[in-house]
Amino acid sequence: MQEELSWGNPYPYQVDPQDSSFIFSSDSGVNFFVYLADGSYYFPKYPALEGNVKTFGFDLRKPVTAEQGYDPRVKDTVTAILKDILVNNKDLGLVYVCSTKDNRHAGRSHLFAKWFGEAQANEAHADPEKRLHLSFMSIEIKGDTDQDTVFAGCIVRSDSQFCKLLMHACANFNTDLDDKTFSVEE
């Protein structure tokens, strides 16, 4: 199934039975994981989204000591995993909040938006019978300083029964969130 669903040239990946995360290794030996968690917390004013929104993230399984450089297959693998999740969960919405741990959250947000745009462009060339139509929104919540600014985004299938509601919730993320003082540090 991975072959059929792939965007680009992803690394082989598998589900870790301990925590249901997706794990893969790069050619340079770096181990990554993509994880999901309940995302309903971010949308307390939208009870219909309870259980239908997951936050996702990805990170290194173990920290690396040297800079590994850019590897386009990491992007291909992460986007293939996300596509796999959405193909198999029509009504699931995915939300990400960029980590502020090293003050590179704005760059992460721009990079992910770029990845999504490239994946959508690839999808436009897919067999119309297998094409996946997605809605995407980037979110920026201005803080008092650049470090306090939160970057996030959401992705949902356009044919999901929750697409319009999730897009509305994301558009109002800044005003609807009860505790706007949270930070995303790991």
pLDDT (tens digit, 9 = 90+) per residue, 77-133? Answer: 999 999 999 999 999 999 988 877 787 777 788 888 888 888 778 777 777 777 788
- The helix or strand, by DSSP H or E, that contains position 97, with its residue range, turns out to be strand 93-97
Q: Closest by alpha carbon to 119, among 46, 10, 13, 19? A: 10
Whose structure tokens read 């039975």?
Answer: 17
For residue range 59-75, list pLDDT tens digits in order.
887 766 666 677 889 99
For residue range 123-170, list pLDDT tens digits in order.
777 777 777 888 888 888 877 777 778 888 899 999 999 999 999 999
Instruction: Provide the whole-model pTM.
Output: 0.82
Q: Which long-range contacts (CB under 8 A, 24 or more apart) does 175-182 make?
A: 176/43, 176/44, 176/45, 176/46, 177/42, 177/44, 177/141, 178/44, 180/141, 182/150
In three-state secondary structure terms, 37 is: strand
Q: Which one has a higher pLDDT value, 140 or 48? A: 48
Neighbouring-strand partners of residue 37: 55
The structural domains of the chain, with segments of one domain joined by +, span 2-176
Distance CA 156, CA 90 (A): 8
